[in-house]
């Protein structure tokens, strides 16, 4: 009896605490700063040509009153998104509990239970990634909305600001765009079609995929039948209506474009040049580096190569190496299915794509494209009784000396480790930092094999220093920010300090162009030979493979592209999956440069090309099986003989 009495006292105490806490929160929400729902989040984003590709959620001014919106559209929206909208206080507790159970069981955040109020709160103020921090903020804004506005006002705001695909925000704009009529004149067929789009604007826009949109429409009509809003007969008759669309498919409806937008918001927050109050009260114009043709090429490459790989993910960056401007970005395959932005939030092991940093350091410290090391199964003694036994891919070895040129083309691990240990384990870290890598790197024997984890943004930026012949640039999405009055409050300022030697970047770029040269096939093949048929221009490219990560990074003077593919759960990759990052890279860079003239680097005056036996490193002869023009700083090439006079020795000064 005493236990029951104690439990009752505890229950009453908890109930009083809950009521008191709820009352305090409600009063704070009710009488705190009021949310201006008609002016919040007036953020405009523009691409590199000044064309708008994002208009906040109030970028449009075609605001329409709820009473002037078709009742069919209102019902279709409510019963597909939040059937208890008029009953709950902003949170559908049973749905939340169910989704939490599913998320805990699956160990991710894929399941959502957002009400219309929560979605509206998110659209007004927040980024779109699914994190617990965002959900807490979203909950607070939703609470404030419910305390400060009526249900009809919230629904009106929601319908006037949500994304209806193809860059169209708000129901009045959507009705005009798709059907050339006002939202008040929409019939049931049109309403149920439009109500299905916001769940996944790129997938359910009828201009993009009419079959998927029709299936979504059927789901919405079924929900209306189940809730006694329409009859079964009405549903069937509506499904038979053939709709005619007024608008045209736009490139702005790319499924990966939201990753770019999300990354822009993150960069905006990191810059710390604009307060939340400024955004809410004055609005912002953000001028980005987005190149919609590059973004389109990237998305097409991802879709074409990963179409049948449901769980495999990707991240990719397309950058102008001369400025560091990020012109395209993907943080996954499809934003509507996963908001986790791997391009800005994830770090993965980069594998052999780390080796170009090593080989640049080697070139600058006395080694050449013709330097040879013996490549065979080797156990390295590291001191203190420690040993390290790396292996080549597939346990394939020449069991002979090979040049740096072949080691790069074949991605020979033994050669790389010998080069690394010859230079000293700290040397590579020195050059990685010089090239802009900020992540902590461990000075160990395996560093050239990419055992450290890096983000694709910083890693692609490091390659930019090779692509622009040695200048320091900083990756960035935002070029300029203006407030609502047009006053500039931020402008990107580049550095472009020379950090690498132009002659050695030229030599290394030439060496990296051999990774897809099929004339070098011998005891093994160049690592990127499989994509050679796709490449119509000259590139420097390197692939990297670990048990769990696939990387391809490459460039020419105009663009640098980095691609990662793999699984979020670090699932081990099969040999058949090694092709995906290479093919996405090739299709992206070729798609982007298709209409552009081919370009390559001008050879520096102090660099000379020599037809070289790439097996031995000597000047090629008629008996050489593998020969290639390799490049050297004058005075270091095979067969060079110093020309001297009595008083002076002729030398060449490096750039």
Catalytic positions: 81, 352
435/459 Cα distance (integer angstroms)? 9
Q: 373, 386, 387, 381: which is closest to 418 by C-alpha? A: 373
Q: 505, 495, 462, 475: which is closest to 600 by C-alpha? A: 505
Cα three-residue angle 580-586-591, rounded to 5 degrees: 125
Cα three-residue angle 651-654-655, rounded to 5 degrees: 150
- CB neighbours (10 Å) of residue 572? 10
336/128 Cα distance (integer angstroms)? 10
Look up residue 452 and give its two tokens: 């450290």
Cα three-residue angle 622-625-631, rounded to 5 degrees: 85
Q: Which long-range contacts (CB under 8 A, 24 or more apart) does 436-440 make?
A: 436/461, 436/462, 436/464, 436/465, 436/472, 436/473, 436/474, 437/462, 439/347
| Residue positions counted in the chain | 655
Tell me how far CA of residue 525 lies from CA of 54, 391, 417, 529, in angstroms: 46, 16, 20, 7
213 φ/ψ sector (left φ>0, alpha ψ -120 to 50, else beta): alpha
- Cβ-based neighbours of 317, under 8 Å, separated by 6 or more: 326, 328, 329, 343, 456, 457, 460, 475, 561, 562
648/655 Cα distance (integer angstroms)? 21
- What sign results for the dihedral spanned by CA atoms 320, 479, 268, 302? negative
């Amino acid at each position: 009896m005493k236990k029951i009495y104690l439990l009752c006292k505890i229950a009453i105490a908890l109930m009083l605490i809950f009521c008191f806490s709820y009352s305090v929160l409600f009063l704070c929400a009710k009488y705190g700063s009021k949310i201006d729902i008609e002016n919040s989040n007036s953020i405009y984003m523009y691409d590199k040509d000044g064309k708008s590709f994002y208009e906040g959620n109030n970028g449009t001014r075609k605001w329409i009153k709820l009473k002037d919106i078709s009742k069919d559209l209102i019902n279709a929206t409510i019963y597909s998104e939040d059937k208890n909208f008029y009953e709950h206080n902003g949170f559908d507790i049973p749905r939340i509990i169910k989704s939490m159970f599913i998320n805990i069981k699956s160990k991710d955040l894929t399941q959502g239970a957002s009400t219309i109020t929560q979605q509206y709160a998110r659209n007004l103020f927040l980024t779109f990634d699914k994190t617990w921090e965002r959900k807490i903020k979203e909950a607070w804004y939703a609470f404030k909305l419910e305390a400060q506005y009526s249900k009809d006002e919230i629904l009106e705001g929601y319908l006037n600001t949500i994304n209806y695909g193809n860059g169209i925000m708000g129901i009045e704009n959507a009705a005009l765009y798709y059907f050339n009529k006002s939202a008040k004149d929409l019939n049931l067929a049109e309403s149920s079609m439009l109500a299905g789009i916001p769940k996944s604007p790129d997938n359910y826009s009828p201009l993009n995929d009419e079959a998927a949109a029709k299936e979504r429409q059927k789901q919405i009509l079924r929900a209306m039948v189940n809730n006694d809003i329409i009859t079964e007969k009405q549903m069937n008759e509506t499904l038979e209506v053939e709709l005619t669309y007024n608008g045209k498919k736009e490139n702005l409806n790319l499924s990966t474009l939201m990753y770019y937008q999300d990354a822009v918001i993150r960069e905006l927050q990191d810059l710390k040049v604009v307060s939340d109050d400024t955004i809410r009260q004055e609005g912002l114009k953000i001028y980005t580096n987005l190149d919609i043709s590059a973004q389109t090429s990237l998305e097409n490459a991802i879709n074409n190569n990963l179409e049948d790989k449901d769980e495999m993910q990707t991240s990719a960056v397309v950058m102008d190496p001369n400025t560091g401007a990020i012109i395209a970005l993907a943080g996954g395959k499809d934003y509507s299915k996963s908001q986790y932005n791997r391009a800005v939030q994830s770090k993965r092991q980069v594998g052999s794509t780390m080796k170009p940093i090593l080989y640049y350091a080697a070139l600058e410290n006395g080694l050449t494209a013709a330097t040879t090391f013996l490549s065979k199964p080797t156990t390295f003694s590291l001191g203190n009784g420690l040993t390290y036994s790396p292996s080549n891919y597939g346990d394939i070895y020449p069991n002979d000396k090979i040049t740096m040129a072949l080691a790069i083309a074949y991605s020979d691990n033994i050669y790389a480790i010998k080069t690394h240990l010859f230079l000293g384990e700290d040397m590579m870290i020195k050059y990685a930092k010089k090239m802009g890598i900020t992540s902590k790197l461990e000075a160990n024997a395996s560093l050239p094999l990419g055992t450290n984890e890096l983000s694709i943004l910083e890693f692609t930026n490091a390659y930019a220093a090779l692509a622009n012949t040695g200048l320091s640039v900083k990756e960035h999405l935002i070029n300029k920010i203006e407030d609502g009055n047009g006053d500039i409050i931020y402008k990107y300022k580049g550095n472009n300090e020379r950090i690498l030697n132009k002659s050695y970047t030229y030599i290394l770029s030439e060496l990296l162009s051999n990774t897809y040269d099929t004339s070098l096939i011998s005891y093994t093949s160049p690592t990127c030979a499989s994509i050679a048929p796709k490449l119509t221009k000259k590139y420097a490219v390197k692939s990297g493979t670990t048990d769990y990560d696939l990387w391809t990074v490459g460039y020419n003077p105009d663009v640098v592209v980095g691609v990662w593919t793999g699984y979020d759960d670090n699932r081990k990759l099969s040999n058949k999956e090694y092709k995906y990052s290479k093919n996405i890279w090739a299709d992206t860079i070729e798609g982007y440069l298709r209409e552009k003239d081919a370009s390559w680097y001008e050879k520096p005056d102090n660099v000379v090309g020599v037809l070289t036996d790439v097996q031995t490193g000597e000047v090629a002869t008629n008996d050489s099986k593998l020969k290639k023009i390799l490049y050297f700083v004058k005075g270091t090439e095979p067969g060079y003989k110093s020309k001297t006079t009595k008083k002076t020795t002729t030398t060449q000064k490096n750039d």
